[in-house]
Amino acid sequence: MKKYILQRVLISLATLFVILLVLFILMDLMPGTPFNDEKLTQAQKDLLYAKYGLDKPVLTRFFLYCKNMLKGDLGVSYAINKNFAVSGMVKDRLGISIAVGAMAMTIGTIAGLLLGILAALNHNSWIDNLCSAISVFGVSIPSYVCALLLCYFIAYRLNWLPILYNVEQPFISLILPAVALSVSPTANIARFTRSEMIDVMNSDYILLVESKGVKDWKMIIGHVLRNTLIPVITVMGPILVNLLTGSSVIEKIFGIPGIGRLMITAIQENDYNVTIACAFVYSLMYIVTMLFVDILYGVIDPRIRIAKEED
């Protein structure tokens, strides 16, 4: 088990390094300059280039950057908030995005599991069809449509919740964005849970458990669910990362200063450091989450644990 984890960690680090290099080269090849104000003369542009070290060769800048990054210094922003430390900008916004994402994931997981289990237990009945319909709906509707509908009916018309994100009431004002974000994960998790559970319920060992006389609910929780969860967790990994890294559409609609908006703005403004920092954060979170999911496998399913040890 330990060897397995170590191997995964090393590969993750190598992946991160390669991602960073690719990002850096890509940014360099993009046309235009960070300072694209119509009113700048070439002499002024040259001065700015020299000041920010944009005139040094790519590889030099990249290694300088890696060195700084390991110290926690992600550079400064050129265009969004001039001379702000990027690490500070990313940190503040990441916290909010993670909060919304975590809420959305919690809602999505609970609702998705319930929906999926309900559908599987009442397989081929009208309940099953209803749940499937809800799933299809959830997967098809874009998140901004959900967001606007929720906003209009619940926040504006009924006044049950605030319309926009409010820094003084962070939890309450994030409920609507979280619900809007959770529609897609709910649908995805529900579908996976349903199909997995049906497969498991039809398998031989469950037949054996049933014939041994184990009561219904005890069987479901103790035996069926545990086996259902493995593929579901696989799916949940990437969904979780997508949510945590901020949906820029939801952030725009609800006026949330999150990392999704930051990345979009950074790309449009050609703010090199911020874009790379954001992309790197995304990759980091993805790799960490997948690592975590892999380890979780080993915990949940002894077969995987033993097989890997034998490797």
38 near another protein, rule: CB under 8 A? yes
Residues 226, 300 contacting (CB under 8 angstroms): yes
Residues 214, 222 contacting (CB under 8 angstroms): yes
71 near another protein, rule: CB under 8 A? no
Residue from 4, 68, 69, 81 that binds another protein (CB under 8 A)? Answer: 81
CB of 56 to another protein, least distance (A): 17
CB of 35 to another protein, least distance (A): 8
Of 246, 234, 229, the closest CA to residue 285 belongs to: 246
Residue with the two structure tokens 């001379």:
83
Residues in 260-289 that interact with another protein by CB under 8 A: 261-262, 268-270
CB of 70 to another protein, least distance (A): 21
Which secondary-structure segment (H or E) carries 173? helix 170-201
Contacts with another protein, 128-167, as mask; x by CB under 8 A: --------------------x--xx--xx--x---xxx-x
Determine the Cα–Cα distance for residues 226 and 201; give it in Å rounded to an integer.
12
Residue from 6, 13, 36, 106 that binds another protein (CB under 8 A)? Answer: 36
Of 18-26, 117-125, 182-190, 279-287, which segment contacts another protein by CB under 8 A? 18-26
How many residues bind to another protein according to rule CB under 8 A? 53
14 near another protein, rule: CB under 8 A? yes
CA 254 → CA 105, 151, 173, 261, 275, distances in Å?
18, 9, 9, 11, 22
Residue from 29, 211, 213, 217 that binds another protein (CB under 8 A)? Answer: 29
Of 186-194, 232-240, 253-261, 301-309, which segment contacts another protein by CB under 8 A? 253-261
Determine the Cα–Cα distance for residues 215 and 43; give it in Å rounded to an integer.
81
Tokens standing for residue 168: 């003084």
C-beta of 122 vs 265, nearer to another protein: 265
Tokens standing for residue 121: 């237990």
CA 159 → CA 92, 100, 255, distances in Å?
29, 21, 18
Determine the Cα–Cα distance for residues 242 and 187; give it in Å rounded to an integer.
15
CB of 23 to another protein, least distance (A): 10
Phi, psi of 154 (to 5 degrees): -85, -45
Amino acid code (one letter) for 298: G
Contacting positions for another protein (CB under 8 A): 11, 14-15, 18, 21-22, 25-26, 29, 31-33, 35-42, 44, 47-48, 51, 79-84, 89, 92-93, 148, 151-152, 155-156, 159, 163-165, 167, 252-255, 257, 261-262, 268-270
